[in-house]
């Protein structure tokens, strides 16, 4: 079932995306789509992939670089701590130059609370596993300030752009990431219990929907893995909706009506398949695990790359190949 050559080469494909700074590009460093820059969120998931193959040194490099980004823009965090931001550009940006850590300028879906939650979650999660990715008191202070940042933006009812950087809405996946992040760093810094309670209540009220406009969404899988922030009934409902409405032949569509790379129908995102495999592996469902791993192997191209997506009902994938996040999800599923 698991093909060692796939794991070995895809691991190298992922490592090839890491810059000397420690940050990863989202796709190849010479890609023309803009995926040669570093997203906070993508870096967290790409580091998860290397954690799964026990390359902890590279994981530390990534998180040290992410801490350096937050330190570089600590003035912005301090600004937000004084009052809730009213403009998107006031938020911590999602994309950075992987060489000098500067924000990528230009209008974008700047409000991505889930990226902050995901960062806190992995810092805390790694610490519990005996891997300390913070270096000194300055890093600890950044963790504490990011907790206060989530308080200031009132994450539990803050309309953000979400994982897919779309229109501003209240997203279950963003709230869940923040709840998981806050819980994970409670042993490191002060986290008011009410701050977690606000988020948990808002999440429970919104689920199983992703948002007011999206009944279900691939992003909801994050609440199962890596965040493990839903109960058994919520998990079952999310999986039923995703598998019934979003799973296609070569991937998982993000949500109904997704216009990104649409050719008349929604593009099929490759990383959804190993993501489902990982979830079912953790649940002990060997049959479904094998099913989704087999589907994943079918969409790996001749260069042992996992693309971002395939066009609907097509054997043609887009230029963002390999997608670092997709390579990471495969390694997580098979490790």
- Burial string for 217-246 (b: 16+ CB within 10 Å, else e) reads bbbbbbbbbbbebbeeebbebbbebbeeeb
> At residue 49, does pLDDT exceed 70?
yes
Taking only the tens place, the pLDDT of each residue in 154-187 is: 999 999 999 999 999 999 999 999 999 999 999 9
Residue 89: the pLDDT is 87
> At residue 2, does pLDDT exceed 70?
no
> At residue 273, does pLDDT exceed 80?
yes
pTM for this model (two decimals) = 0.97
> At residue 223, does pLDDT exceed 80?
yes
Taking only the tens place, the pLDDT of each residue in 179-220 is: 999 999 999 999 999 999 999 999 999 999 999 999 999 999
> At residue 256, does pLDDT exceed 90?
yes
Q: Identify the band that residue 247 occupies on the pLDDT scale cut at 50, 70 and 90.
A: very high
> At residue 105, does pLDDT exceed 90?
no
Residue 88: the pLDDT is 86
Residue 234: the pLDDT is 98
Q: Identify the band that residue 1 occupies on the pLDDT scale cut at 50, 70 and 90.
A: low
Q: How far apart are CA 328 and CA 274, in angstroms?
A: 9
Stretch 217-242: mean pLDDT: 98
Q: Identify the band that residue 69 occupies on the pLDDT scale cut at 50, 70 and 90.
A: very high
């Amino acid at each position: 079932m698991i093909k060692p050559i796939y794991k070995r080469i895809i691991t190298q494909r992922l490592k090839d995306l890491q810059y000397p700074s420690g940050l990863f590009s989202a796709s190849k460093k010479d890609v023309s789509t803009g995926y040669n820059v570093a997203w906070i969120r993508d870096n967290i998931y790409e580091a998860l992939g290397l954690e799964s193959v026990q390359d902890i040194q590279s994981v530390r490099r990534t998180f040290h670089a992410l801490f350096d980004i937050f330190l570089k823009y600590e003035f912005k965090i301090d600004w937000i701590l004084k009052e809730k931001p009213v403009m998107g550009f006031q938020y911590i940006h999602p994309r950075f130059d992987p060489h000098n850590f500067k924000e990528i300028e230009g209008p974008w879906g700047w409000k991505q609370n889930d990226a902050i939650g995901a960062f806190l979650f992995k810092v805390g999660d790694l610490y519990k596993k005996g891997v300390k990715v913070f270096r000194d008191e300055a890093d600890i202070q950044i963790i504490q300030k990011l907790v206060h940042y989530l308080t200031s933006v009132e994450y539990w009812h803050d309309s953000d752009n979400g994982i897919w950087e779309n229109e501003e809405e209240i997203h279950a996946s963003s709230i869940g990431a923040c709840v998981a992040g806050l819980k994970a760093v409670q042993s490191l810094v002060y986290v008011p219990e009410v701050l977690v309670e606000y988020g948990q209540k808002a999440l429970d009220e919104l689920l199983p929907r992703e948002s007011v406009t999206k009944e279900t969404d691939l992003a909801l899988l994050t609440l199962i893995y890596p965040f493990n922030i839903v109960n058994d009934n919520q998990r079952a409902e999310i999986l039923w909706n995703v598998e019934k409405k979003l799973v296609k032949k070569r991937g998982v569509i993000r949500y109904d009506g997704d216009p990104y790379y649409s050719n008349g129908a929604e593009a099929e995102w490759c990383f959804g398949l190993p993501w489902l495999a990982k979830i079912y592996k953790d649940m002990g469902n060997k049959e479904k695990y094998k099913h989704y791993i087999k589907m994943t192997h079918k969409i790996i191209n001749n260069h042992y790359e996992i693309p971002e997506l395939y066009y609907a009902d097509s054997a043609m994938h887009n230029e963002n190949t390999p997608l670092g996040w997709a390579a990471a999800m495969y390694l997580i599923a098979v490790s």
